[in-house]
Structure formats: C-alpha cells, structure tokens
Structure 1
Amino acid sequence: MLQILYLAQDLADPAVRRRILTLVAGGASVTLAGFRRDSNSLAAVHGVEPVELGVTADGRFAQRIGAVASACLSLKSKLGNVRKPDIIIARNLEMLAVAKRAVTLFGGEVPIVYECLDIHRLLLRKDVVGRALRAAEAHFGKDARWLITSSPAFIEHYFRPLSGLEAPALLLENKVLEIDGCADRNTISAEYPTPGAPWKIGWFGALRCRKSLALLAEFSRKMEGRVEIVLRGRPAYSEFEDFGGFVRDEPFMRFEGSYRNPEDLAGIYGDVHFTWAIDFFEEGQNSSWLLPNRLYEGCRYGRVPIAMKGTETARFLSVRGIGLVVEEASADSLVTLIGSMTADRYVEAADRVGQCNPATWVFDRADCEALVRRLATLTVEEPQTMPAGAVSEPRHNEGGLL
C-alpha cells in the first residue's frame, strides 16, 4: 500500500478533506499534517487524525512564513512517530518548504509532489517581493517530481513562463468526488420555479470576493425579488468589512452556512437554478485562470453556470456550448442576461448541461485508483523535467489527467 504524507496549508479547508478522501479511496495510506487556521468539524476525515504543525492566519502572509520556519525547526518531534512515506504531497508553497525539510528527516530519498491549485497574487508581482517568492518556489520545488494543478491556464500563464519549476505537470481538475460511482444525473431536475417564486443563484464554496458580493447584492435589488442569492460555504472574513451584517441588510440575499463536500452537494445545488462561477478576488490573474469547484459541482447537478467573459471558465463553457457568460461586471449586464429568462430558455440551457458526459464533472473510485497508481510510479521513476507539451490537446481533458 502506497504511504503518502500529505502536507496541507489549512487543515480546515474542505478541499484538503476531498483530496484525502480521494487518495484513501484510491488505495493509499495517508498521514495528514499541516497548519490550523480555524475550526471546521466538517473538514474532518474519519480515520485520519491530522498532525498539527502550528496555527496560521488567513491573509497574513508574513505570519505564515514565521509559522513555516517554526514548523521546520520542530518537524522532527512532530513527525517522530510517522512512518517513512513513499511520497510527500505538498499543498501550496509554504508546505513545499516543509516538505524539503521532511525529506531530509526521512533520509533524503522521498519523492515530492507539489500541489498548487491557486496562484497567489504575491507570486505574480514584478517587484522584489514577487521575484523572491518565485525564487523560493523554484528553490524548494527544484527536486519536485510532479506538479499537480487544476487548470491549463495556470500552466500557460504562470508555471511555464514564470515559475522556474521544471517538474512535469499533472492536470487534476476540481471535479466532484463520487467514490461510490456516478449516480443518475437526473435524480435532481433543474426546473423552472413555481409561479411567483424567484430564480435562485447559488454562490458556494470559498467566499472571498468582495466584488462578487457587492455585484450580486446590487443585481438582486434591481430585480426586485425576481432573483434571490443563496450563499453557502466558508467566508474569508478578513476580506470583508462585515460579511454577516452586509448579508443581513440585503433583502434578496441569504447565507446558509457551511456544508460537507461532497456529501451535501446534491441538497444545496438542488435548491438553486444557477451557479455563480465568477471570482474577482485576484482579477486578471488567478481569478481569470482558475476553473472553480462550483463550476463542476453545479454542472454535475444540472445547474446552469454563470461565467465572466474572457476567463478560463468562459472558455471552458464555450468549448462545450453550455452556460451563460456575463459581458461585463455590472448589475445591468446581469439584468440583461437573466432578467428576461423564461422557462423554455432555462430548460434548454439546463438540458445542454445535462447532455455532457458525466466524466466531465465527476471523479469516481476508478479515477482515484488510477491517480494513486500514477503516484506509485514515482517511487521507481527517474526525475523528469517539464516537457514543452506538458498540457496537450485537447485543451480540456475529459479524463482530468495529462
């Protein structure tokens, strides 16, 4: 059985939980270690007790650097009872530094996989800070055997031209984890609301975008009750002046709290008609390049995604002929897009989503097993460099692995 040490930047992150579930379902034995940012019981994985390396704060990069340095100094005692892994997966840059230290402690022969699913804005700065962080990434990732990322645009716009990393890329999209197989896609129908009821737009997951919150609030007010905004997930409170107060003051917006992923997805997406697949958090950079979790989640349940023109998400939808695209980031543009929505137009849009191959949205047990088998090859392979064609055609691989 493949032994994996998974180093996470945030033990409360639901996406970390999903990755652990993926690896375990694939047949690996996983030790989870990382930093705690806040408490989130819904992120717990049954049978996996994490090793806490310290506490970090969201949005405080300098504090996180100090926490990483402290963790590296105490790593020998923290991992003293951990069996030597076959592979170490480091999620995000700070954990890549911890992974390098861990390899030394375990004898210097453990392959490292660097998992980076977002490109932090500091890495893209053109000043001394950006150059220093990219140099650090290149240094700590020098011996990484693979790079795991979730969007071809990350490789096209950052990893290939800027990062200095030479590890070959593995595209692992943010698909819905369905360990027990792909259920009937029609178990939840995407229906027109009953007469007098509003259209519902769901914005789920990591809620960190002030611009999206303000835009959806203004739009819903302009629609005067014909549209309702439903928020669920983990708000990044550091990014909002008063998230709770803002939502409470909005007549057509409500926050329904956190949820388990993937267990609660059917229920929460069954309550809405559209998925907000737009993010302005790092506009023009990471937000333009990512393919968000909620894109796959909403489409898995036949919900119609809303994307922003000019983004990787919009291109993804265009290739498949599905979804709605906002021309500009304004409430008026949203009114034009959705204000005249009819039952027939909605059913047609939802049907197009439903006609996609389920594998476009779902990562099942067979995929988990295939991933673990591929990871296992690193225990015998020689180190590789990133080939010029690390992302091959077709641009969006239905199987998720390149």
Structure 2
Amino acid sequence: MLDVLYLAHDVADPAIRRRTMTLEAGGAKVTVAGFRRGADTPAATGVIELGITRDGKFAQRVAAVGKAAVVLAGKLRGMGRPGIIIARNLEMLALANRANAIFGGNIPIVYECLDIHRLLLRKDFAGRSLRAAEQYLGRNVSLLVTSSPAFIENYFRPISQLKAPTLLLENKVIDLGDGAAEKPPLPRPPEPGAPWKIGWFGALRCQKSLKLLAEFSRAMNGRFEIVLRGRPAYSEFDDFDGFVKDEPFMTFHGSYKNPEDLAAIYHEVHFSWGIDFFEEGLNSSWLLPNRLYEGCRHGAVPIAMRGTETARFLSAKHIGLLLDRAESAALAHLLADMTPARYLMEFDRVAGTGSGSWVFDKADCQRLVSRLSALRANDAHPALMQEPSQTQSNKGGLL
C-alpha cells in the first residue's frame, strides 16, 4: 500500500477531501496535514492541523509556513515514513522539503498546482523572486500535477523554471460506484411561467461575475434566476451576503458536499456558470474549473467566456454557450431567445458526450495511485519518523 503524506494549504477546501477520497479509492493510505483558514472546519477527517492562515493575506501565510516548519517534527511524531509526499500549492513546498528531511530524505515529492497565482506572473522583482523560490523549493520534485493544458502552455513551459515531468489531472467528478453506470441526466425545462435557472456553484470568488449576473437577472425581470452554492471568498467581495440579499432574482444556499450532493443541486438548474474573472486574462482564462465537469456530468448546459481555455474545451466538444463580452447585455443577447426547444437541443449535446469526459472512476483512481507508487525511491525505511536532532538531510516534498 502507498502511504501518502498530503500537505494542504487549506484543509477545509472541499478539493482536499476529494483528492483524499481519490487516493484512498485507488488503494493509498493518506495522512493530511495543513492549514485551516480561519474558523473553517477541515473537509477531511483525521487532519493534522499546522496553524491558521487568512485568505488573501500572502505575508501572513508565509509567516505561518515558517512557524509550521519549526513545529512540524512534533506534529508528525510517531507517523511512519511515507512513500511519497504531495504538496498542494507553492507555499506548501517549503514544508514538503522540511518533512522529507524529518523522515530521512529520499522521498519522492509531488507538486500539485491547480492555480497559477498572479504574483508568479509579475515581471517585477517580486515576481522574479517568487519564481526563483518555486524553482528552489521544487528542485526535488519528482512529478508536477496540474489540471489544465493551458497552465502548461502559458506558465510551466515558457515561464516557470521548474524541471519535472508533468501529469495532467483534470478536475473530473469522482464516481466510486460499483461499476454500474449511473443513469444519464434527464432534461428539465421549466414549467410554463417558471424561470430559467443559472447555477454558479463551487468556489465563489469573482465579484465581476456576481455583479454581471445580478444586472442580467434584473434586466430579464425574473425570467432568469441565479442560484449560488459553495464557499464565498469573502475577502474578494465588498459585502457578499448583503449584496445577494438585496437582489430579487438571486439566492445563496450555502455549501454542499462534493460529490454526494452534485446530482441534486445541478438538477435544480438549467445552466452552469463556468466563467471566472478573478484573475482575468491570466489564471481565470487558463483554468478548467470543477464546475465545468460537475455541471456537464449532471446535465446543466455550461456558459463560458469566449477566448478562454474553458471555451476552447467546450468548442472542441461542440457543446455549451459562449459569451462574447463580459456584459449583462451580451448575456441577455445570448439567452434572450431561450425556449424549451432550444434548451433541449443544447441539453442533448451535453448529454451526448457521455460520462467519460466528466467522471473519474475507481479504475482511474487505481491508475493514479499506481503512477504515484512508481515514483517511490528504492528505499523501504521501516523506522518511524526521526527526531529533528537525528536528522541530517534538509530535503522534502509535499502535495
């Protein structure tokens, strides 16, 4: 069995739970250690907490990593030597190297990077320094895991100096069923007089999307309603709760469990908002978001911004609706002539792709763990973690 030490930037992020489920379904044993964002509850059970960080507070997070490095040996005391260490995001690579040293070194490190922070793309001293830090901290990385080919094409290949093999691991929906195919989604046009519904689910961090959808729904005077679910990044909004409360055609229903609740929540909407302007022209243009796969898997017609990786992905499959301009008037033009007949045509195109494009099943989990297992050094260290005074090396790795 592959023992994985998974170092997480935010243990309350549902993506941490999904990755843990994926690895465990593939046959791995996973220990999660990481930071908690404020009062958020860890998404996975049995988490080793390393401290508290603040969303959007880069300097505070760097300081928290420094403090965690000092106490990491004590936090991991008694844990057996892992087969690999996975570091989720750049800030965790420092702790990955520290953990590797604590366990005696020579443990393969996997760097999982599913977002390219805007600071990494700056051309000034700060950007160059952060990329240099990535290169240094990633010097022992055995595998880079990322979720969109545009991240490779626009950052890792031309800009980053990280030298490691790359694994493209899309943000597909985990389906750990017994092998029996789940029933395909059914079309669900609204009853006469009822509104069409657009669902914006997941990590809610884009104020521009929130305002655009609010303006659009008001302009359509109730013909379209906006349904929000997930985890708002409150640091990115002036007043998320107050704004939504004042909107007549917009509602927020809180968080949900992924993948358990996906079928139910997407069954309530007709369209899925797949647009993010959070880091417009950069990360937001390159990513393939979770909601893209979730919505299509469960029959919601995706809406994407033309010129993004998401739009290119959908165009290759001949599905979805593409917005030409980031304006409520352009969205109204795109959806103004929506009828049950047009909706059924768009729905059938999405449903016709089959689940394989959207689902990561148990066999996929097993293949992933097999790939990670192959990284293990020919070093079967049976001993428990060493005390810091016994450790000579200062290498490490993490996910």
TM-score scaled by length of structure 1: 0.92
Alpha-carbon distance in structure 2 between the residues aligned to 1:357 and 1:166: 36
Would you say 1:76 and 2:108 are equivalent positions? no
Would you say 1:121 and 2:115 are equivalent positions? no
Q: Deviations over 1:1-56 (max 9, x none)?
A: 10000000000000011000000010000000000004445x533xx401011110
Specify the alignment match of 1:18 in structure 2.
18
1:229-240 equivalence runs, <5 A: 229-240=226-237
Alpha-carbon distance in structure 2 between the residues aligned to 1:96 and 1:170: 17
Would you say 1:312 and 2:312 are equivalent positions? no
Paired residue for 2:243, among 243, 246, 249?
A: 246
Is the 1:185–1:301 contact (alpha carbons within 8 Å) kept by the matching residues of 2? no
Any idea what SS the aligned residue of 2:212 has? helix
Runs of 4+ more than 2 Å apart: 38-41, 181-188
Identical columns (%):
64
Report the CA distance between 1:146 and its aligned residue.
Answer: 0.3
Alpha-carbon distance in structure 1 between the residues aligned to 2:182 and 2:175: 12
**Structure 2 spans left out of the alignment, 5+ residues:** 380-399
Moved more, 319-328 or 350-359: 350-359
Alpha-carbon distance in structure 2 between the residues aligned to 1:226 and 1:367: 41
Specify the alignment match of 1:29 in structure 2.
29
Moved more, 291-300 or 355-364: 355-364
Would you say 1:222 and 2:228 are equivalent positions? no
Change (3 A) 1:37 1:313: same
1:53-92 equivalence runs, <5 A: 53-92=50-89
1:106-255 equivalence runs, <5 A: 106-180=103-177, 184=181, 186-255=183-252
Change (3 A) 1:371 1:86: same
| Aligned residue-pair number | 379
Alpha-carbon distance in structure 2 between the residues aligned to 1:186 and 1:373: 29
Report the CA distance between 1:357 and its aligned residue.
Answer: 3.0
- Residue type of the alignment partner of 2:213: L
Higher relative contact order (CA 8 A, sep 6+): 2
Specify the alignment match of 1:334 in structure 2.
331
Any idea what SS the aligned residue of 2:115 has? coil
Is the 1:230–1:254 contact (alpha carbons within 8 Å) kept by the matching residues of 2? yes
Alpha-carbon distance in structure 2 between the residues aligned to 1:144 and 1:381: 16
Alpha-carbon distance in structure 2 between the residues aligned to 1:374 and 1:150: 16
Moved more, 200-209 or 74-83: 74-83
- Residue type of the alignment partner of 2:46: E
Any idea what SS the aligned residue of 1:329 has? coil
Q: Deviations over 1:190-249 (max 9, x none)?
A: 221000100000000000000000000000000000000000000000011110000000
1:222-371 equivalence runs, <5 A: 222-371=219-368
Report the CA distance between 1:186 and its aligned residue.
Answer: 4.4
Change (3 A) 1:181 1:157: farther
- Residue type of the alignment partner of 1:317: L
Specify the alignment match of 1:44 in structure 2.
43
Moved more, 145-154 or 68-77: 68-77
Q: Deviations over 1:334-386 (max 9, x none)?
A: 0111111111111010000001131100001110011000100001489xxxx
Any idea what SS the aligned residue of 2:159 has? helix
Any idea what SS the aligned residue of 1:161 has? coil
Specify the alignment match of 2:392 in structure 1.
none
- Residue type of the alignment partner of 1:44: A
Report the CA distance between 1:113 and its aligned residue.
Answer: 0.3
Alpha-carbon distance in structure 2 between the residues aligned to 1:370 and 1:185: 21
**Structure 1 spans left out of the alignment, 5+ residues:** 383-402
TM-score scaled by length of structure 2: 0.93
Report the CA distance between 1:81 and its aligned residue.
Answer: 1.9
Is the 1:185–1:354 contact (alpha carbons within 8 Å) kept by the matching residues of 2? no
